[in-house]
Amino acid sequence: MAPRAPLAGFQRITFTIVTVSALVAVAAITFNTWLSYTERLQHTRLMVMAAVHSGMSESYMQLATSGHPPGAAELAELGSSHLRLPHVSAFVAPLLPVPASAQPADPDARAAIAGFKPEEFHSFTSRGGWELYPFRFENRAPPMVAGFRRADVMQAILPTTLYTTLFVAAGLLLYYQLVFRRVRQSLEQPLQHFLERRLSGNIESIVLGSPQNSAPDRLDFITGELKEKVEQSLELLDRWARHKANLDRLISLSIMEVSRTDLVRNLHQILTAEFPLRAFAMLTANASQNRLEALWATHDGHCPEQLFSEPGQCFVYRTGSKLIQGSEMQICAICPSAGSEVTLCKPLVASSKLIGVCKLRLDSAILTREWGFVPEHQPRLNVVDAFLSPYIDLAALGLSNIALLDAYKNQALTDALTGLYNRRYIIEYMTSLLSVARRSGSPVAVLMIDVDDFKRLNDEYGHKTGDIVLRVIASNMRRALREGDVIARYGGEEFIVVLPGSDSQVGAEVAERVRQAVAEIEWDQQQLSHLPRVTISIGVANFPLHGYSHYHLSNAADKALYRAKRNGKNQVQVHEVVPAEGGQP
């Protein structure tokens, strides 16, 4: 169906007004015409009666007194001379059978009086479209009838009626134009200005990328259902403009944010500004442990423990589909909705992989008032879902990107074989730590560790076994360290440990504990029962006693390590060379 013109509504209103006015005018013209016809008919009757009883009667009496009373034919001729009416063709004829010469010339008139027997003389009778007036002057005079056609009376008033009709039609056309212009001025122009202001504000929201919070103009110049419908349509447009601006903002946050918690917190702030949120929870999937974990939630958004320990009970997590439910349409019993709430659960999908679930509870009363929501009206719910979905999808993409960035960081800073930090990270860490230690005056101990006879172990048992040995040793050393101590693979079979706030004595104690943890490894429990006992040698250096930079400290610890190697391996040695005062080691 082709769209209607913008003025179609105004034209219909104007047409209705003018149509009603035209009907009133037609009724008035019809009534006036009937009154004119009735009046003209009565006037014609009086003229006929006056002609008969005045002119004809006088002429008849003169002829009768002269001794020559006129006959029927003479009376008909006499009547024709006296009965001359304007706009009406009248006749006078005898009622008795007479020669054709005495009959009216009009055949319709002859037919009208044929067989006419008046019940009463001197009174009008309507017959066959004619008005007949039977009369006689005295008993000896022949009965006569005068008559005229009613159509002639109507035809006489038609010009006046036609002129009146044309005048009224012209007035109605003028009235139509005036009413249409008035309706247009009072409705179209204010509506056009209103829509232009709304559209301008929405364009600013879209272009500037920030929602306009100023109160919009109201449709005070129209009332009723039309006002409500227009307001709902424009409110939807306003929401779309704010939606676009908020989406741009969330896109920027998703790109720049490096904290998952901060990203979700910002998402909650945006959704709260646009939707009647009662509760919000963002859950992430831990695939290795087959459980859901709460990343961030509002005070009222906490979910039952069953949801975390048994994620398969969650409809969204189990099916990967969205869920919308209210008190009248319960689908998932694990998160029921209260009577005044609507629950909306969305899967977090990134790279075709389910990474979590977002749960929202919305106030159904506000949805009804502001969105026209009806619990059983699914299309209205789909509109709310259509506005919400892009936010959730963007958040899922942002969370996936942050997780991917963290994975890349870990790959750049950790050793792929052992899972410990790599040499690059430990150098940056030591540089930063020693800078702080120089200002605070706190000591730092550094342990340099090497696996004894690792080359021979590699040659005899193979590199695959050597990799397993390095992983097991790294795991045991990490468990032997204190919280806050940092261990890294320095290269090959060498490891380095940094102990913040520890002097040489504490460093030696920790180093001995690490050495014992490695020496006590039971290789048969690692399915390597054929291996001999594996040991490590450790060198210890200390800041500020043995140096002021990562290079000097690692070099000092390395010298202590080689002294341990020379002294028989499987032992701890502390660097003993102290630099001269004011010099470098």
Catalytic machinery residues: 493
Would you give the DSSP letter of residue 181? H
CA distance 190 to 194: 6
Strand, coil or helix: what is 458? Answer: helix
> Is the link from the previous residue into 544 a cis peptide, with omega within 30 of 0?
yes
The alpha-carbon radius of gyration of the chain (Å, integer) is: 57
Closest by CA position to 48, among listed 150, 159, 155, 138? 150
CA distance 192 to 190: 5
The token pair at 324 is: 């919308």
- How many CB atoms are closer than 10 A to CB 60? 22
The token pair at 59 is: 């002429």
- How many CB atoms are closer than 10 A to CB 575? 25
- Across 174-290, the runs of DSSP E, i.e. the strands, are 277-286
CA distance 131 to 123: 10
For 361-414, give the secondary structure using H, E and C. Answer: EEEHHHHHHHHCCCCCCHHHHHHHHHHHHHHHHHHHHHHHHHHHHHHHHHHHHE
What is the maximum span of the chain, computed from C-alpha positions, in angstroms?
188
Closest by CA position to 217, among listed 233, 237, 201, 205? 201
CA distance 481 to 510: 7
Residue 341: phi, psi to the nearest 5? Answer: -130, 155
Give the CA angle between residues 15, 19, 23 to the nearest 5°. 175
- Return all residues near 284 (Cβ < 8 A) that are at least 6 apart: 260, 292, 293, 295, 348, 355, 356, 399
The token pair at 10 is: 């105004």
Q: Is 246 in contact with 274 (CB distance < 8 Å)?
A: yes
For 364-379, give the secondary structure using H, E and C. Answer: HHHHHHHHCCCCCCHH
